[in-house]
């Protein structure tokens, strides 16, 4: 169960919340879906900044709701829609098919990463 305890932010039409827990990508996605949301995916700089607030608060990298699609090196939202906003770190994504998930660093930039590592869970509603 997602305990909010003031760990919620509203940006435009979206609500973001984190339980502060670090789990692998599949578990993070499942925990968000179990409470009626999905993994947070920033659609613009303002939303990216809101997610960065959680990353800094917990001082942990976070998974984003982004995955590598059918084409190697092409990333998309987990609902299979194109990414209209990105904030890749310089030289990223560079996993070339081996790093299918995306994490946010503590500076707000993104990196493609393997999906089996434990990262902060941030959900969007």
Band of the pLDDT at 6, cuts 50, 70, 90?
A: low
Q: Tabulate helix, strand, coil % of the chain (nearest 5).
A: 20, 35, 45
**Share above pLDDT 90 across residues of the chain, in percent, rounded to a whole number:** 81
Domains of the chain: 27-124 (3.10.100.10)
Residue pLDDT, tens place only, 71-96: 898 999 998 888 999 999 999 999 98
Q: Which two tokens stand for residue 72?
A: 């190697």
Query: Does the pTM exceed 0.85?
Result: yes
Residue pLDDT, tens place only, 44-69: 999 999 999 999 999 999 999 999 99
């Amino acid at each position: 169960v997602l305990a909010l305890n003031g760990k919620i932010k509203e940006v435009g039409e979206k609500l973001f919340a984190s339980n502060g827990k670090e789990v692998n990508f599949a578990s993070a996605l499942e925990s968000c879906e179990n409470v009626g949301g999905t993994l947070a995916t920033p659609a613009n700089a303002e939303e990216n900044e809101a997610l960065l607030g959680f990353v800094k608060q917990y001082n942990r990298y976070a998974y984003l709701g982004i995955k590598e699609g059918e084409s190697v090196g092409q990333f998309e939202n987990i609902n299979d829609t194109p990414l209209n906003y990105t904030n890749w770190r310089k030289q990223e994504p560079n996993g070339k098919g081996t790093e299918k998930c995306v994490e946010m660093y503590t500076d707000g930039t993104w990196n493609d990463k393997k999906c089996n590592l434990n990262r902060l869970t941030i959900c969007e509603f």
